[in-house]
Amino acid sequence: MIDEQARLLSNREVAADFFWARLNAPYIAAHIEPGQFVNIEVGAGGAALLRVPLSVSGVDREAGIIEVLYEAVGPKTRALSRFGPDAMLPTLGPLGQGFAPPEDRQVVLVGGGIGVPPLLYWGLELRQRAHQIALLVGARTANKHLPSELLTPAADRVRRATDDGSRGHAGLVTDLLQDELAGKGPCAVYCCGPPGMMRATAALCLAAQVPCQVSLEAYMACGIGICVGCAVELAAAKGDTEYGRYARVCVDGPVFDSRQIQWPT
Ligand SMILES: Cc1cc2nc3c(=O)[nH]c(=O)nc-3n(C[C@H](O)[C@H](O)[C@H](O)COP(=O)(O)OP(=O)(O)OC[C@H]3O[C@@H](n4cnc5c(N)ncnc54)[C@H](O)[C@@H]3O)c2cc1C
Ligand code: FES
Protein backbone atom coordinates (compact mmCIF):
# COMPACT_ATOMS: atom_id res chain seq x y z
CA MET A 1 0.00 0.00 0.00
CA ILE A 2 1.29 3.48 -0.84
CA ASP A 3 0.06 7.06 -0.86
CA GLU A 4 0.32 7.76 -4.57
CA GLN A 5 -0.01 11.16 -6.23
CA ALA A 6 -2.74 10.25 -8.70
CA ARG A 7 -3.35 12.49 -11.71
CA LEU A 8 -6.99 12.90 -12.65
CA LEU A 9 -7.50 12.15 -16.34
CA SER A 10 -11.27 12.62 -16.59
CA ASN A 11 -14.23 13.05 -14.27
CA ARG A 12 -17.65 13.11 -15.88
CA GLU A 13 -21.27 12.71 -14.81
CA VAL A 14 -22.67 9.44 -16.20
CA ALA A 15 -26.03 9.28 -14.35
CA ALA A 16 -27.85 11.68 -12.00
CA ASP A 17 -25.13 12.74 -9.49
CA PHE A 18 -23.00 9.69 -10.43
CA PHE A 19 -19.48 10.48 -11.63
CA TRP A 20 -16.94 8.29 -13.39
CA ALA A 21 -13.32 9.30 -12.70
CA ARG A 22 -10.19 7.89 -14.31
CA LEU A 23 -6.88 8.43 -12.50
CA ASN A 24 -3.31 7.77 -13.46
CA ALA A 25 -1.93 5.80 -10.47
CA PRO A 26 0.52 3.20 -11.83
CA TYR A 27 1.48 1.52 -8.53
CA ILE A 28 -2.12 1.08 -7.38
CA ALA A 29 -3.23 -0.02 -10.86
CA ALA A 30 -0.56 -2.73 -10.86
CA HIS A 31 -1.51 -4.12 -7.46
CA ILE A 32 -5.20 -3.54 -6.68
CA GLU A 33 -7.54 -6.56 -6.73
CA PRO A 34 -11.33 -6.54 -7.26
CA GLY A 35 -13.15 -5.63 -4.03
CA GLN A 36 -10.26 -3.57 -2.65
CA PHE A 37 -10.58 0.19 -2.33
CA VAL A 38 -8.63 3.45 -2.31
CA ASN A 39 -8.80 6.44 0.03
CA ILE A 40 -8.69 9.72 -1.89
CA GLU A 41 -7.80 13.08 -0.32
CA VAL A 42 -10.07 15.78 -1.71
CA GLY A 43 -9.36 18.67 0.70
CA ALA A 44 -13.04 19.52 1.27
CA GLY A 45 -12.89 22.36 3.83
CA GLY A 46 -13.60 21.03 7.34
CA ALA A 47 -13.82 17.49 5.96
CA ALA A 48 -10.26 17.73 4.61
CA LEU A 49 -8.85 15.45 7.30
CA LEU A 50 -10.97 12.54 6.18
CA ARG A 51 -10.44 10.94 2.82
CA VAL A 52 -13.14 9.38 0.64
CA PRO A 53 -13.07 5.58 0.53
CA LEU A 54 -14.01 4.43 -2.98
CA SER A 55 -13.98 0.98 -4.54
CA VAL A 56 -12.14 0.60 -7.79
CA SER A 57 -14.56 -0.13 -10.65
CA GLY A 58 -11.96 -0.92 -13.31
CA VAL A 59 -8.23 -1.00 -13.98
CA ASP A 60 -6.03 -0.62 -17.05
CA ARG A 61 -2.78 -2.10 -15.71
CA GLU A 62 -0.70 -1.40 -18.82
CA ALA A 63 -1.71 2.26 -18.91
CA GLY A 64 -1.46 2.59 -15.09
CA ILE A 65 -5.08 3.77 -14.80
CA ILE A 66 -7.67 3.12 -12.09
CA GLU A 67 -11.35 4.00 -12.40
CA VAL A 68 -13.84 4.92 -9.69
CA LEU A 69 -17.58 5.53 -9.89
CA TYR A 70 -19.11 7.61 -7.14
CA GLU A 71 -22.28 9.42 -6.19
CA ALA A 72 -21.89 13.05 -5.10
CA VAL A 73 -23.79 12.86 -1.80
CA GLY A 74 -21.91 15.09 0.64
CA PRO A 75 -18.94 17.45 1.10
CA LYS A 76 -16.14 15.08 0.07
CA THR A 77 -17.78 13.45 -2.93
CA ARG A 78 -19.07 16.85 -4.14
CA ALA A 79 -15.56 18.28 -3.81
CA LEU A 80 -14.22 15.35 -5.85
CA SER A 81 -16.83 15.95 -8.56
CA ARG A 82 -15.53 19.51 -9.05
CA PHE A 83 -11.94 18.52 -9.92
CA GLY A 84 -10.96 18.62 -13.60
CA PRO A 85 -8.23 16.94 -15.65
CA ASP A 86 -4.65 17.14 -14.32
CA ALA A 87 -5.68 17.66 -10.68
CA MET A 88 -3.28 15.77 -8.39
CA LEU A 89 -5.11 13.74 -5.73
CA PRO A 90 -3.19 11.89 -2.98
CA THR A 91 -4.59 8.36 -3.19
CA LEU A 92 -3.89 5.64 -0.64
CA GLY A 93 -4.17 2.04 -1.81
CA PRO A 94 -4.70 -0.77 -2.39
CA LEU A 95 -6.72 -1.10 0.85
CA GLY A 96 -8.68 -3.97 2.40
CA GLN A 97 -9.41 -7.56 1.41
CA GLY A 98 -11.02 -8.18 -1.96
CA PHE A 99 -13.34 -10.90 -3.29
CA ALA A 100 -12.39 -14.57 -3.01
CA PRO A 101 -12.83 -16.56 -6.25
CA PRO A 102 -15.98 -18.65 -6.78
CA GLU A 103 -15.96 -22.45 -6.90
CA ASP A 104 -18.73 -22.58 -9.51
CA ARG A 105 -18.79 -21.32 -13.05
CA GLN A 106 -22.13 -19.51 -12.63
CA VAL A 107 -21.89 -16.21 -10.79
CA VAL A 108 -24.57 -13.70 -9.80
CA LEU A 109 -23.51 -10.13 -8.95
CA VAL A 110 -26.10 -8.12 -7.01
CA GLY A 111 -25.56 -4.36 -6.76
CA GLY A 112 -27.57 -1.43 -5.48
CA GLY A 113 -26.78 2.29 -5.80
CA ILE A 114 -23.16 3.09 -4.98
CA GLY A 115 -22.55 -0.64 -4.38
CA VAL A 116 -22.28 -1.42 -8.09
CA PRO A 117 -18.67 -0.21 -8.76
CA PRO A 118 -16.65 -3.03 -7.11
CA LEU A 119 -18.84 -5.62 -8.86
CA LEU A 120 -17.92 -4.19 -12.27
CA TYR A 121 -14.18 -4.77 -11.75
CA TRP A 122 -14.92 -8.25 -10.37
CA GLY A 123 -17.23 -9.11 -13.28
CA LEU A 124 -14.58 -8.07 -15.81
CA GLU A 125 -11.98 -10.28 -14.13
CA LEU A 126 -14.32 -13.27 -13.79
CA ARG A 127 -15.34 -13.11 -17.44
CA GLN A 128 -11.66 -13.40 -18.40
CA ARG A 129 -11.61 -16.60 -16.32
CA ALA A 130 -14.60 -17.94 -18.33
CA HIS A 131 -17.26 -17.57 -15.63
CA GLN A 132 -20.89 -16.93 -16.66
CA ILE A 133 -22.02 -13.69 -15.05
CA ALA A 134 -25.49 -12.31 -14.37
CA LEU A 135 -25.41 -8.74 -13.06
CA LEU A 136 -28.52 -7.59 -11.18
CA VAL A 137 -28.67 -3.85 -10.54
CA GLY A 138 -31.15 -1.96 -8.39
CA ALA A 139 -31.71 1.81 -8.26
CA ARG A 140 -34.33 4.17 -6.88
CA THR A 141 -35.34 5.49 -10.31
CA ALA A 142 -34.29 5.27 -13.99
CA ASN A 143 -31.85 8.21 -14.02
CA LYS A 144 -29.92 6.69 -11.09
CA HIS A 145 -28.98 3.68 -13.24
CA LEU A 146 -25.47 3.61 -14.68
CA PRO A 147 -25.32 3.57 -18.49
CA SER A 148 -25.21 0.21 -20.26
CA GLU A 149 -21.72 0.81 -21.68
CA LEU A 150 -20.32 0.69 -18.13
CA LEU A 151 -22.33 -2.38 -17.07
CA THR A 152 -22.33 -4.74 -20.07
CA PRO A 153 -18.54 -5.43 -20.23
CA ALA A 154 -18.80 -6.89 -16.71
CA ALA A 155 -21.53 -9.47 -17.38
CA ASP A 156 -23.08 -11.86 -19.88
CA ARG A 157 -26.53 -10.65 -18.81
CA VAL A 158 -27.62 -7.44 -17.08
CA ARG A 159 -31.02 -7.14 -15.37
CA ARG A 160 -32.23 -3.90 -13.84
CA ALA A 161 -34.81 -3.05 -11.18
CA THR A 162 -36.14 0.30 -9.98
CA ASP A 163 -38.12 1.09 -6.85
CA ASP A 164 -40.58 3.23 -8.86
CA GLY A 165 -40.83 0.94 -11.91
CA SER A 166 -39.36 3.56 -14.29
CA ARG A 167 -36.78 1.10 -15.73
CA GLY A 168 -36.61 -2.69 -15.71
CA HIS A 169 -38.36 -4.73 -13.03
CA ALA A 170 -40.64 -2.64 -10.79
CA GLY A 171 -39.49 -3.62 -7.32
CA LEU A 172 -36.46 -4.78 -5.44
CA VAL A 173 -33.28 -6.17 -6.95
CA THR A 174 -33.66 -9.08 -4.53
CA ASP A 175 -36.83 -10.10 -6.46
CA LEU A 176 -34.51 -10.63 -9.46
CA LEU A 177 -32.10 -12.60 -7.27
CA GLN A 178 -34.91 -14.87 -6.09
CA ASP A 179 -35.78 -15.51 -9.73
CA GLU A 180 -32.13 -16.26 -10.63
CA LEU A 181 -31.65 -18.65 -7.71
CA ALA A 182 -34.83 -20.55 -8.60
CA GLY A 183 -33.64 -21.29 -12.13
CA LYS A 184 -30.00 -22.08 -11.41
CA GLY A 185 -27.86 -24.94 -10.31
CA PRO A 186 -24.78 -24.29 -8.18
CA CYS A 187 -23.61 -20.70 -8.30
CA ALA A 188 -21.87 -18.04 -6.22
CA VAL A 189 -23.34 -14.66 -5.27
CA TYR A 190 -21.44 -11.41 -4.67
CA CYS A 191 -23.30 -8.40 -3.32
CA CYS A 192 -22.70 -4.73 -2.53
CA GLY A 193 -25.31 -2.08 -1.78
CA PRO A 194 -27.44 -0.61 1.01
CA PRO A 195 -27.41 -2.59 4.30
CA GLY A 196 -31.03 -3.80 3.96
CA MET A 197 -30.36 -5.12 0.47
CA MET A 198 -27.25 -6.98 1.60
CA ARG A 199 -29.08 -8.45 4.58
CA ALA A 200 -31.93 -9.68 2.32
CA THR A 201 -29.42 -11.09 -0.19
CA ALA A 202 -27.56 -12.90 2.59
CA ALA A 203 -30.83 -14.44 3.85
CA LEU A 204 -31.90 -15.62 0.37
CA CYS A 205 -28.48 -17.20 -0.24
CA LEU A 206 -28.49 -18.91 3.14
CA ALA A 207 -31.93 -20.40 2.41
CA ALA A 208 -30.79 -21.53 -1.05
CA GLN A 209 -27.47 -22.85 0.36
CA VAL A 210 -25.54 -20.70 -2.07
CA PRO A 211 -22.23 -19.07 -1.03
CA CYS A 212 -22.46 -15.30 -0.76
CA GLN A 213 -19.80 -12.65 -0.26
CA VAL A 214 -20.79 -9.09 0.68
CA SER A 215 -18.74 -5.91 0.38
CA LEU A 216 -19.67 -3.79 3.40
CA GLU A 217 -19.59 -0.04 3.74
CA ALA A 218 -18.86 1.68 7.02
CA TYR A 219 -17.99 5.19 8.09
CA MET A 220 -14.23 5.27 7.93
CA ALA A 221 -11.68 7.63 9.42
CA CYS A 222 -8.18 6.16 9.00
CA GLY A 223 -8.99 3.37 6.51
CA ILE A 224 -5.91 1.43 7.64
CA GLY A 225 -6.99 -0.39 10.79
CA ILE A 226 -5.90 2.07 13.50
CA CYS A 227 -8.97 4.01 14.71
CA VAL A 228 -11.44 1.06 14.94
CA GLY A 229 -14.14 3.46 13.72
CA CYS A 230 -15.42 0.99 11.15
CA ALA A 231 -16.17 -1.99 13.42
CA VAL A 232 -18.81 -4.50 12.33
CA GLU A 233 -20.32 -7.16 14.60
CA LEU A 234 -19.63 -10.76 13.66
CA ALA A 235 -22.05 -13.65 14.08
CA ALA A 236 -19.42 -15.58 16.01
CA ALA A 237 -16.10 -14.62 17.55
CA LYS A 238 -13.29 -15.15 15.09
CA GLY A 239 -10.04 -16.44 16.48
CA ASP A 240 -7.89 -14.47 14.12
CA THR A 241 -9.11 -10.93 14.85
CA GLU A 242 -7.75 -8.93 17.76
CA TYR A 243 -11.27 -7.64 18.45
CA GLY A 244 -13.05 -10.93 19.16
CA ARG A 245 -16.68 -10.44 18.19
CA TYR A 246 -15.90 -7.46 15.93
CA ALA A 247 -13.98 -6.95 12.72
CA ARG A 248 -12.67 -3.79 11.13
CA VAL A 249 -14.29 -3.25 7.74
CA CYS A 250 -11.24 -1.41 6.37
CA VAL A 251 -8.63 -4.14 6.96
CA ASP A 252 -10.54 -7.38 7.73
CA GLY A 253 -13.02 -6.50 4.91
CA PRO A 254 -14.66 -4.77 3.18
CA VAL A 255 -15.49 -8.20 1.69
CA PHE A 256 -16.84 -10.85 4.08
CA ASP A 257 -18.59 -14.19 3.73
CA SER A 258 -22.21 -13.14 4.44
CA ARG A 259 -22.50 -15.85 7.13
CA GLN A 260 -19.78 -14.13 9.18
CA ILE A 261 -21.86 -10.99 9.73
CA GLN A 262 -24.30 -10.41 12.60
CA TRP A 263 -27.06 -8.82 10.49
CA PRO A 264 -29.29 -6.41 12.45
CA THR A 265 -32.83 -7.75 12.92
C1 LIG B 1 -14.95 0.41 1.37
C2 LIG B 1 -15.87 1.48 0.82
C3 LIG B 1 -16.06 1.59 -0.54
C4 LIG B 1 -16.89 2.57 -1.07
N5 LIG B 1 -17.04 2.64 -2.43
C6 LIG B 1 -17.83 3.60 -2.94
C7 LIG B 1 -17.96 3.72 -4.36
O8 LIG B 1 -17.36 2.95 -5.14
N9 LIG B 1 -18.75 4.73 -4.84
C10 LIG B 1 -19.41 5.60 -4.01
O11 LIG B 1 -20.13 6.48 -4.50
N12 LIG B 1 -19.30 5.50 -2.66
C13 LIG B 1 -18.52 4.53 -2.10
N14 LIG B 1 -18.41 4.45 -0.75
C15 LIG B 1 -19.15 5.42 0.10
C16 LIG B 1 -18.43 6.75 0.13
O17 LIG B 1 -17.16 6.59 0.73
C18 LIG B 1 -19.25 7.75 0.96
O19 LIG B 1 -20.47 7.98 0.29
C20 LIG B 1 -18.48 9.06 1.08
O21 LIG B 1 -17.46 8.88 2.00
C22 LIG B 1 -19.38 10.18 1.44
O23 LIG B 1 -18.58 11.30 1.82
P24 LIG B 1 -19.18 12.76 1.70
O25 LIG B 1 -18.36 13.69 2.50
O26 LIG B 1 -19.37 13.10 0.26
O27 LIG B 1 -20.63 12.62 2.31
P28 LIG B 1 -21.05 12.54 3.86
O29 LIG B 1 -21.55 13.88 4.30
O30 LIG B 1 -20.00 11.88 4.67
O31 LIG B 1 -22.28 11.56 3.69
C32 LIG B 1 -23.38 11.87 2.82
C33 LIG B 1 -24.46 10.83 3.04
O34 LIG B 1 -23.95 9.50 2.83
C35 LIG B 1 -24.01 8.73 4.03
N36 LIG B 1 -22.73 8.01 4.14
C37 LIG B 1 -21.50 8.56 4.08
N38 LIG B 1 -20.53 7.61 4.19
C39 LIG B 1 -21.19 6.43 4.32
C40 LIG B 1 -20.78 5.09 4.47
N41 LIG B 1 -19.49 4.74 4.46
N42 LIG B 1 -21.72 4.16 4.60
C43 LIG B 1 -23.03 4.48 4.59
N44 LIG B 1 -23.49 5.73 4.43
C45 LIG B 1 -22.59 6.70 4.30
C46 LIG B 1 -24.22 9.74 5.15
O47 LIG B 1 -25.00 9.21 6.20
C48 LIG B 1 -24.99 10.84 4.46
O49 LIG B 1 -26.35 10.53 4.40
C50 LIG B 1 -17.59 3.48 -0.19
C51 LIG B 1 -17.39 3.37 1.18
C52 LIG B 1 -16.56 2.38 1.69
C53 LIG B 1 -16.36 2.29 3.17
S1 FES C 1 -11.39 3.17 9.46
FE2 FES C 1 -9.94 3.23 11.07
S3 FES C 1 -9.87 1.14 11.72
FE4 FES C 1 -11.15 1.09 9.96
Task: Report, as an integer, the average pLDDT of 96-101.
Answer: 97
User: Does any ligand 1 atom lie closer than 6 A to the CB of residue 53?
Assistant: yes
Residue 192 is predicted with a pLDDT of 97
For 111, 124, 183, 215, 248, the CA distances from 115, given in Å and listed in that order, are: 5, 16, 25, 8, 19
Name the CATH architecture for the domain at 2-95: Beta Barrel (2.40)
* Ligand 1 atom having least distance to the Cα of 54: 5
Nearest to 21 by CA among 34, 35, 38: 38
Ligand 1 pocket mutation pick from 19, 69, 73 by most atoms within 8 angstroms of CB? 73
CATH number for 218-265 (one of 3.40.720, 1.20.120, 2.10.240, 2.60.40): it is 2.10.240
Q: How far apart are CA 171 and CA 65, in angstroms?
A: 36
Say if residue 225's pLDDT is above 70.
Answer: yes
pTM as predicted: 0.95
Task: Report, as an integer, the average pLDDT of 108-116.
Answer: 95
Task: Report, as an integer, the average pLDDT of 147-159.
Answer: 96
Q: What percent of the chain has pLDDT over 90?
A: 86
Domain 99-215 fold: Rossmann fold (3.40.50)
pLDDT band at 244 (very low <50, low <70, confident <90, very high): confident
For CATH 2.10.240, list the domain ranges present in the chain.
218-265
User: Does any ligand 2 atom lie closer than 6 A to the CB of residue 226?
Assistant: yes
What contacts 62, CB < 8 A, 6 or more positions away?
A: none
Q: Return mean pLDDT, the chain.
A: 93
Distance of CA 73 from the midpoint of ligand 1 (Å): 8
